[in-house]
Structure 1
């Protein structure tokens, strides 16, 4: 090839490369750190998404928890670089919506399969689960049958998470205030405190303490035993079944209104793709939000959970949560 032809070829190649790069669009995703960890769903969802949409590139920014993530977003306001937020749940979406930072998604909600009807046009569910206390059946032969029994049973030591820093702990806060009246809940917290080993900052350290044998029960998810069964072939861990029903957590994704980003729209919609759902379910150890075959044990639990009694928490709002949290803090500091 002559020098002239070589020069023309390299110029053409350079122009083509710049054209391809110009078509590539970055999706900045704010989320929580366990989602982006090596064992989390994030890296697998990112890889699958970029395979389906090669013109899009996902960039994760991880925070210690969803609360910290949302506070950072509010602080940045219209100057935020985030295109998508992954990890807000059904109990902080009211406050998130009032911020005005999010835009409606473009996903058909008819695709969803949840225990409750979902109509929200801003926050799109990507997995769900019920809170439950987990125990080792070899150590606890007579598990409590209700939350009230758990509170009263001082022969059972428990661990749960701080509702100020953990969405799981916030689940117990909601649970307690639906089972107990406003006049009785403080006394119930006091009774529970008498046989609480520790109130941890987050799920990881508290669940780890439980596995080390530091408590009889730990607050987690109804899906937690599936991790041990499917990935460790251990069947001794079970979830409590409470007569009054459990509290549902639905994790969601949302588009940030500030940026017009087609790849961000694709990413949010992709979270409902069967391939993404498989990664989300197995790595988050939660349940799918669409009708899809993921894994026999998860599929069986999903079928059961679709008809399991859940407490109606649709009217829980930010004002109530702050009030309930204040009662919990005051009670534990007495």
Structure 2
């Protein structure tokens, strides 16, 4: 395994992070989830990402149980707060001091740990003053319940304001967690330059565009049975509406010769592509079978050359989503489920 710094800090995370967004507590049984976590550890992955909202807190519990007995100092554990959890009452959502403080305590209990390495704001909360949010995060860091602070899908302006407040409060905002892949490049115009300036890294999710970049979705053919595009609980609407348009699927099929030239599978090519961006500290992978983990990690063995990176971009030109304005649509203007 290789490691990269999280932002402008001395903290290193593995280039591949194991995440359990759409699997643990929902799509796969707990014993399979545990086997996948063990496979990640065996492959050298030390960074693990989850969130309290995944499977309405169950995913955190599954991950905590799977990591039980491991040397805590040898792991990097990230979780998130914002979305509605539990009975989803008016204070069970958002980035108010109340929800953040209760959120970290619940997450630590479920993860069976005294602290998380990065505590992340899952989205931006337009209903809570940012000063309140950042003060709560600062208090959590000072209490030793989190070592660093991160965010997810924030705009460049929000990153800049939060970074300034973090410095004033004496804490480190080190990461942003956006969606990023060869098909979803909306962070490149504004988020990445701002992050590079401020010393913030990206920990990216959906580097394989939720399976579209595997090439398993064939143009003109029905979606494979059991695939994410057929699972209403697994992001099917996002795949169908944004990433799995017919012209996109045609272009993706043309990536196979590039993958062959690089000596990589299509999944490995996709991971190598995102890791080619120096502002990316880590790419998050998920798995429904243990063998998938070891295969995906091989992506770090063969860094993508500039020529092959360009070849991927040229192949997907016209179908990759690059509109920076999409970053302004990621956080809801009102807290979900409370109106």
TM-score by length of 1: 0.31
TM-score by length of 2: 0.31
Larger Cα Rg: Structure 1 or Structure 2? 1
In terms of fraction of residues, the more strand-rich structure is 1
